[in-house]
Chains A and B, each alone.
Chain A
Amino acid sequence: MQTRQKYEIAVSGLMILMCFVFLWESWDLPPGTFEPLGSGPVPQATAAIIILCCLITINTARLEAKKSSVAEGTGEPLSIGFAVLMALATLVFVIILHLRIMAFAWMAALFLTVTIWGLENFKKKKFLPAVITGLIVGFAVEYLFTQVFVVDLPV
């Protein structure tokens, strides 16, 4: 089975799941007072259409997968490591921002240093440029968004 079809089945499945969550939440909405529909039916109909389309997609993907059971090599090597680094660093960044325990400029600088250096494979000679970029962008962005535009950032 190819990667695309695996994704198709998994993502369609997730969408169906979300639709059921929405259907559940919309079930006891009151009927309309000014027109016959009310708040519930439109989301319910929308969810039903999505579920139908996703089921068709899953079915098509399974048929296709059966037809070409030989796994094809993917086009080019993907660097999953970089994506994971990016995702994890962003998550930590946002959590720190949420807790408001650090000035924005410093945490942006830290985030940038780690990710830039990481995307450069932690090469020694790239460390300094990463730090410098991090500090400049971090402080510039904080200045821009707290002084020029009044945003409620932790400083």
Chain B
Amino acid sequence: MKKLLLSATVAMAASLGLTAAAEAAWPEKPIKLVVPFKAGGTSDQTGRVFQAAIKENNLLSQPITIVNVGGHYSIGSRQVMEAPADGYNFLLIHIALMGGEGSGALNFGWRDFEPVAASGEFCLFPMVRKDSGINSVEELLAASKSKPDSLIFGANLGAINHLAGVMLQEVNPGSKFRFVQIGGGTANYTALTGAQTNATVLSGAEVIKFTRMPDGSENPEAQIKPLAYTGPARFPQLNHLPTMKELGYNMEFCIKSWWFAPKGTPKEAVDGFAAAMEKATQTDRYKKFLSSKGFANVFLKGDALQKDLSDTWTAIEPVAILAKKK
């Protein structure tokens, strides 16, 4: 009976042309992409590269409109979560969404969205001063274990570099950094150069900018140095540095751009958007952007994306809780 009623409803809807028309025609109006960060940041640039690549190659029949919602990233994220699930609302965010949920700063999280895709990946380098006498991750962790809570680790508390720092100390039980609020990459570079802090993490692009000359050789004036890479494979421009995995530590810490839609968004829209994005990742414009940022061209959708998200959550949730505790 129930089944009959259901099929009758479906038939009726189909005869009215409701679902069929909506599916066939997606997209029939401009697609709104919310970037919950201010214009000009890395996430915004990522969104705009995709927007341009999709437009230039006619990968979608409608344009994408980017709406920057500044302030805390929770504001724009929540706007998308509460937006109609009609296939015309998307969100571009990163691991902060999980960090915020894990630490309790947000009362919603990644599972309240429909995952669409993950793109472009970057990982981090633990950094110390050249005159610190520390030459490897092992020595850094040993120092933080022999005198716990004394090595000052510069971070933006609650954010990516803080989570990475906590994960780093957790690979060597007993290690303990003293986390200090410094800010993002540039602020941490200044603080480490000024010897106000003893360690931090920076992204590949930042390491290149702060420690290398334009021709790729080492900048003799730089007072800081990277120790290792938290990615799955070595970083091309800094090929001499081992990955954490090679050193025998079970740590991988990389950040991808995550693309979400409101829960219940039609599968056609989710798949259609992801397919257009996947094609965009093969364009020269996108590849050029990736290399300028030191990102790897990773692209995930469907089941691979689901698995990656839940793996990341399993890894990041305990770290986020620890990060809050000191």
User: Is the A/B pair a real complex?
Assistant: yes
A124 to B33, CA, bound (A): 48
Count how many chain A residues have C-beta atoms less than 8 Å from C-beta atoms of the other chain: 4
Q: Is B62 an interface residue (CB 8 A)?
A: no
A34 to B67, CA, bound (A): 35
Q: Report chain A residues within 8 Å CB of B67.
A: 150, 152
Look across to chain B and name the residue whose beta carbon is closest to the beta carbon of A152.
B67
Given contacts A33-B325, A34-B180, contact A150 B65 (CB under 8 A): yes
Q: Report chain A residues within 8 Å CB of B66.
A: 150
Look across to chain B and name the residue whose beta carbon is closest to the beta carbon of A150.
B65
Proximity bits, B119-150, A CB within 8 Å = 1, else 0: 00000000000000000000000000000000
Chain B binding surface, main DSSP class: strand
Q: Is B326 an interface residue (CB 8 A)?
A: yes
Q: Report chain B residues within 8 Å CB of A152.
A: 32, 65, 67
A33 to B324, CA, bound (A): 8
Q: Report chain B residues within 8 Å CB of A33.
A: 324-326
Q: Is B235 an interface residue (CB 8 A)?
A: no
Q: How far is the CB of A74 from chain B (nearest CB, A)?
A: 41
A150 to B180, CA, bound (A): 39
- Which residues of B261-280 have CB atoms within 8 Å of chain A's CB atoms? none
Instruction: Select one of B32, B65, B179 contacting A34, CB under 8 A.
Output: B179
Chain A binding surface, main DSSP class: loop
Q: Is B96 an interface residue (CB 8 A)?
A: no
Q: Report chain A residues within 8 Å CB of B32.
A: 152
- Which residues of A109-155 have CB atoms within 8 Å of chain B's CB atoms? 150, 152
Q: Are A34 and B325 in contact (CB under 8 A)?
A: no
Look across to chain B and name the residue whose beta carbon is closest to the beta carbon of A151.
B67
- Which residues of A39-86 have CB atoms within 8 Å of chain B's CB atoms? none
Q: Is B190 an interface residue (CB 8 A)?
A: no
Q: Is B205 an interface residue (CB 8 A)?
A: no
A34 to B162, CA, bound (A): 12
Q: Report chain B residues within 8 Å CB of A34.
A: 157, 179-181, 326
Look across to chain A and name the residue whose beta carbon is closest to the beta carbon of B63.
A150
A152 to B180, CA, bound (A): 39
Look across to chain A and name the residue whose beta carbon is closest to the beta carbon of B179.
A34
Look across to chain B and name the residue whose beta carbon is closest to the beta carbon of A32.
B326
- Which residues of B293-326 have CB atoms within 8 Å of chain A's CB atoms? 324-326
Look across to chain A and name the residue whose beta carbon is closest to the beta carbon of B324.
A33
A99 to B205, CA, bound (A): 44
Look across to chain A and name the residue whose beta carbon is closest to the beta carbon of B65.
A150
Q: How far is the CB of B252 from chain A (nearest CB, A)?
A: 26
Q: How far is the CB of B216 from chain A (nearest CB, A)?
A: 38
Q: How far is the CB of B207 from chain A (nearest CB, A)?
A: 26
Q: Report chain A residues within 8 Å CB of B324.
A: 33
Q: How far is the CB of B17 from chain A (nearest CB, A)?
A: 27
Look across to chain B and name the residue whose beta carbon is closest to the beta carbon of A33.
B326
A150 to B39, CA, bound (A): 12
| Top-6 shortest CB links A-B | A33-B326, A152-B67, A34-B326, A34-B179, A150-B65, A33-B325
**Can you report 14 residue pairs joining A to B where beta carbons are below 8 Å apart?**
A33-B324, A33-B325, A33-B326, A34-B157, A34-B179, A34-B180, A34-B181, A34-B326, A150-B65, A150-B66, A150-B67, A152-B32, A152-B65, A152-B67
- B residues near A (Cβ < 8 Å) are 32, 65-67, 157, 179-181, 324-326
